[in-house]
Amino acid sequence: MERNTRQRNAILDAISEAGRPLSTQEILAAGQAVVPSLSIATVYRTLKDLTAESWILPVKLPGEADRYEMTQLGDHYHFKCSACSRVFDIHERIKKSNLLVPRDFVIEKYDLILYGRCSECQPKP
Amino acid sequence: MERNTRQRNAILDAISEAGRPLSTQEILAAGQAVVPSLSIATVYRTLKDLTAESWILPVKLPGEADRYEMTQLGDHYHFKCSACSRVFDIHERIKKSNLLVPRDFVIEKYDLILYGRCSECQPKP
DNA sequence: ATGCTATTGATAACTTATTATCAATTAATC
DNA sequence: GATTAATTGATAATAAGTTATCAATAGCAT
């Protein structure tokens, strides 16, 4: 892209300020809070551009559409709340020595996805 | 289902003998080796039935269609070869103490997916 | 402020995986 | 072997997410 538009800024701001991966619908809603006319087509277009320019990265969970987060977050994994469906970043690493595979298999990377209840979704005592 | 058909037997045999999760196309190919007329519609129908009867389970990887494996395998995780695209079972566990999340987050379950090269797909030295 | 053209918004089209349809086939019973 | 209804095969239909289309809008340079 060559022009600085309100839509593009709103989308990148939404992702940048979320602190967790956002779905396209979450990005649309957050963007429309700033630019009410924002359309889902522009969201997809802009996500594609921002991804190509390495500002953001897709976060893939099994059976779900891609979410997006800023690239500079470094290695981490993800926690999905089974109640509110939000995904959170977990900034911890697993010791690679804990990842056992048969000899002759070589690990290049791995994804760890945790499922459970986030702090806001604990069952009432 | 109420009848014992060659198609159903071929599909369940394929999954049972594979020793790893199979995609619908792999199941179709393996089944057609026994029943050449086997159609993809029958594969999907039978997978649905076998899943409902708990003979098999879907294996979900991010961004990919479900694969299927036998249910009795117990807890384990999966390794996908980036060269041949096959998925293998890894019968190891992670120590739960290695899974750190913020306080007030409660883990219910997790998926660990490894990516790399399987023993048959190592780069030539 | 004007003009040019990239970008947007609305929606149709597309994609890939899966499911529904229905005539033909076949397993199970007699 | 004939009967009958469940199952199959071929293909159309569906679903959900994403992309393409194109007239209208709005950045940016002048």
Structure-block tokens of residue B40:
């993809």
The pLDDT of B47-70, averaged and rounded, is 97
A83 touches strand D (CB under 7 A): no
Residue B45, pLDDT > 90, answer yes
Residue B105 and residue A116: Cβ atoms within 8 Å? yes
> In which order are the strands placed within the sheet that holds B77-81?
A87-90, A77-81, A106-117, B106-117, B77-81, B87-90
Q: Give the span between the Cα atoms of B97 and B110, in whole angstroms.
A: 13
Residue B61, pLDDT > 90, answer yes
B82 touches strand D (CB under 7 A): no
Kindly report the nearest CA distance between residue A34 and chain B, in angstroms: 31
Residue B98 and residue A94: Cβ atoms within 8 Å? yes
A41 touches strand D (CB under 7 A): yes
Judged by average pLDDT, the poorest of B1-5, B27-31, B48-52 is B1-5
Mean pLDDT per 10-residue section of chain A, whose length is 125 residues: 91 97 98 98 98 96 97 89 95 75 89 94 85
pTM of the entire predicted model: 0.91
The pLDDT of B1-22, averaged and rounded, is 94
Decide: helix, strand or coil at residue A41. Answer: helix
Distance of CA A39 to the CA centre of its chain: 20
**How many other C-beta atoms lie within 10 A of the C-beta of residue A83?**
13
pLDDT digits (tens, 9 = 90+) for A82-118: 999 999 999 877 777 777 788 899 999 989 999 999 9
Kindly report the nearest CA distance between residue B12 and chain A, in angstroms: 24
Q: Give the span between the Cα atoms of B117 and A106, in whole angstroms.
A: 5
Residue of B nearest to A114 (CA): B110
Least CB–CB distance from B98: residue in A98, A116, A119: A98
Structure-block tokens of residue A31:
């963007």
Q: Which of A82, A38, A89, A47 is nearest to A64 (CA)?
A: A82
Model confidence at B1, in pLDDT bands (50, 70, 90)?
low
Enumerate the residues of chain A whose CB falls inside 8 A of the CB of residue B117.
105-106, 108
CB environment B82-113: b (16+ within 10 A), e (fewer): eeeebbbbbeeebeeeebebeeebeeeebbbb
- Write down all domains in chain A, each with its CATH number in brackets: 6-72 (1.10.10.10), 73-121 (3.30.1490.190)
Q: Give Cα separations from B106 to A4, A30, A125, B84, B109 (angstroms).
A: 42, 27, 14, 36, 9
Q: Please give the pLDDT value at position A24.
A: 98
Residue A115 and residue B95: Cβ atoms within 8 Å? no
Q: Give the span between the Cα atoms of A68 and A17, in whole angstroms.
A: 12
pLDDT digits (tens, 9 = 90+) for B66-120: 999 999 887 899 999 999 999 999 987 777 777 778 889 999 999 999 999 999 9
Determine the distance between A68 (CA) and D29 (C1') in angstroms: 34
Enumerate the residues of chain B whose CB falls inside 8 A of the CB of residue A112.
99, 110-113
Q: Please give the pLDDT value at position A1.
A: 59
Secondary structure element (H or E) that encloses residue A23, with its range: strand A22-23
